[in-house]
Structure formats: C-alpha cells, structure tokens
Structure 1
C-alpha cells in the first residue's frame, strides 16, 4: 500500500489525464477489496480529484458505491467538487492539493491575429507534429493579447465584430479544456501587451477608441497599465508608461 500511495502522490508523476490516476487507485482497491477497502480514503487523497473533468467527477466518482459508503471518502470527494466549482467559476486561485496541477510539460498554443476576427484555439503537438483544434474562444475577436499564468491562458481586450474595442477577459484552463470569464479590464484596449509577474497579470499600452465604441472609430494610444490579481479577480491601475 505504501508504495502505491508514494507513486500516485509523487510530484514527479506525469499525466495529461487524471482519470488514469483515479482508475489506477480504484483498480488497486478492487483487486483485493475485502482487505484494501479501508485504504480508500488514503488513496483518494493522492488523486488530484479537482483536475478530473466535471462530468466525470459528478457522474462517476461522486456516485461510486465504495465512496458513498465511506464517510471519509465521501467528504474527500465533496471537497474536490467544491474546488472544481471554484475553478469553473474562475473564483480566485484554488490552493487545495486536490487541484494542484501535475507535471504535463510545456505546451504551445496558437490563437488570435490582427487581420481577421478569430475564435479558434490550437494546440501544437510537437511529438506527433500535429496542430490540434481546442475549444473555441467564446467571443470572436482580433488584436487581443494572450498570457499564461500557470496552466491558464488569459486573453484580454481586442476588437470584436459587434462590440468594438473590448474590456473582456477570457480564461482558458488548459487542464480542463474549458473557458471562463474573468473580471473585465478597467480600460477597453486592443493591440496591447500582457505579461505575468509574481502570479499577477499586467496589461500595458495599446489603443482604444477615441469616439464611441464601433470598430471603425478612430483610435488613440494608451499609456495606462493595469494589474490583475487572479486570487481576488480584481484589476488595479498601476504606474502608467
């Protein structure tokens, strides 16, 4: 048992699908159920349950008979569901161990552009030498900025076909392959830069509409710099350019 716990809880364990870890733990328990069922809570704590797809967590894990019969196991899964909801709602940073990302290596994503409105997101699979389509950006736009913080990609601002210059912020969770909306920026902008520093997102410069909000409106350059804190989901103006 100790060897299984050590293996599944290891920070060196690499996987792109936490379902494999969960199913490995359950297979080990079921191999000798009478003797091993008492170890279920300990093994569940080695699984990053909040990294499981939401449907799988609710329909497969939360309804598993072995789990529902054990109070401790049920509490562990309920806590993971609460963490999952916070993740899906982009409700700050979840620090629980059940939501800590495992090693997955670096990934390269392609998105956006300057000429055409685009809602496409692609993952470059360097091993297979393929470009893989991922979940579309919920709102097509161009001239936005993108920046990664941990396993999340933040796209800020840009110009849309109907809403003109945008303040919107969309967040792509690369582990769960899901989009969510964060708090909007204080200033609508496009053609700006963004960067991560000490777990905060900074947006710098760019342009905004001089009059009105239509895509054809004249634009002016911006010197404003904003800071976004994922923990509080709030934007703050900092020193301008």
Structure 2
C-alpha cells in the first residue's frame, strides 16, 4: 500500500522546468575554507594530531594533511598504526622545514631561500611533495656558481634529482677553470678529481689549465696527496700542451721532478712533438682535444669574393662575419688588413688565422691572426711560399 501511494505521489509531481534550475557556487570557498582552517590551527582548536621532531611539536588536522600531503594521505587512509595516534614522531626531518611544509598544506605558500632550500627539498622528498621538490631544484639550478656547483651536484645525487644533477654537471664542464679555483674543488676526494679531469667535456682553452688545476689540488694537502700525482697526471693530456710549457713548467715542477713515473709521462708528451711517427701508438684519449658539448661554437665567414664575381674573376673581400647559433644572427667583425679569397683558415689556441689566399691580382704568402677578445687582426710571419 505504501509503495503504491509513493508511486502515485511521484506521478502527480510536475516535471522540473530547466529554466527553474539554478546552479549557485562560490569559487573561492575552498581557498577561504583552508584559510579558516589555518586560523583555527593557529588558535590550537579542533587539532587532532601532533607531529613531533626532536623537542619540537606541531599541531594540525589530519584531514588537511591528508588532503594536501601524499605521505599523510597514505598514512591516514590505509589503516596504518599512526592513523590513530595522537602524536606522530617524524624521524630525520628539520623542524623548521616541517613547520613550513605544514603551513604550505594550509595556505599553499612557501618561501624558499639559500638557508632553507636544502632542508625543504629533503622534507618535500620525504613527504612526496614533488611540486615543492621541483621548485627547490629550480631555485638551486638558477643559482649555480663556480663556488657551489660541486656541492649542489653531490646533494642532487643524494636526493636523486636527475635534472639538477645534470645541470650542475653541465655547469662544472662549462666553468671548469673557475670551479678548479674553488674551495669545494680543492676539498674533493681523489676519486672525484680523477674522474673530473678525465672528462672530454671540460671547457678549457688549453690542456695546460687542466694540469694547473690538478697540481693545485695536490699542493692543497701535499703530504696526503703527493702519492696520487702519477695517476692524476696520467689522465691529463700532456701531448696537447705546448712544447715550451712541457719544458719550462711541467718538467721543472718539483713534484714532477721527484717522481719517476711523472717524468716518464712528460717524456712521452715530448716525444709526441719530436717524433710524429709514434703518435698512433699513444692512447687515443691523450691526443683527443676536450670539447664542451654544452657550449655552442661560433661560425666565422672569412673573406671570399663579392656577389658579382665568379670563381675566376672579381673582387676579393676583407670582410669577416660571425654567426652565433644561440642568438641565431650574423654580426660583422673587424675586417682583415688584406682582402683575401680562396684563403686558408685555422683556429689555434682560440685565435683565428687567415693564411695566404688571393687578393684579386696576386697570390699571397702573408698570414694574419684574429683575436676575438679584442676584435682585432694583426700580422704574423709570412709563409715561405705563396698559396691560395
């Protein structure tokens, strides 16, 4: 009887007109609600859990922690032992970082600075707050410096932050010379220094800078490190050093002179210059120039013929232009002192050489060199023969 009456009443109700249906919403209600809960927490009311780190205690609401922090969501919704405890001990967390992350759960705001970034990253990693972990990594990546990059790399490896680790590695490669002068570098263990000076990617103007970095590391604690010199020197590409440097600097260094193995390595490098026929017998890495893959090079266009000319006639040019692939633009450099087409060019020790060529009337034996740091050309010794 009751079911029949309910069915009859339902049939008697008129259908709702869509125009009579109104959706009402308050868009900022969730954010205002969290703000109110944060104020309630500051007043110490309605809190149902206390997080303890050492002697520090922080009261909070389980529902807010579970809604905002994945670690607590798993703890409070999966019948773990802690879900019913009034006080939960948080092992290994920095108290100020935990307090900041609890506040973040209520207001979505976090202040990151040089003093707290590492403790926040560690806390965020523990609490599974990936967005905060990423923000801390970005903060550190944007502030890499020759004096801190080695420490940041080690920290990134410990925290398994792959993007930050790669960024620090790339920075070390690009700024190796400055990094090698830092206290962090001088304090590195031998294995790390050995691995670093073995890398192809170091950005150095010459191998001589790598040698100086290695010797500075040895001298920083000579008594404890002197025995490492032969192995360290074996990873430096001494054959790529200038003969004058090998003779006047490397061979004369007291650390090298006192070590038979080191003297053998110097002799090997000198033989590279004195007896070219023996070069194929050297280990390949010792004659392979360093190449920092994270730094784009520049492309120089040197001399040539004007657009109205053909291969056999026309005006030779002294114009020099450079293309920057990062900025994606060409710029003019200081022109050569002599117009040259069919000119030979080479880069040696960061200087650009223009060799011989044709000035539109005569073949040339003259050679000039361009210094990109001063944007200037200067003449050097001519060749014995004219070449184009």
So what's the TM-score if we normalise by structure 2? Answer: 0.33
Larger Rg: 2
So what's the TM-score if we normalise by structure 1? Answer: 0.50
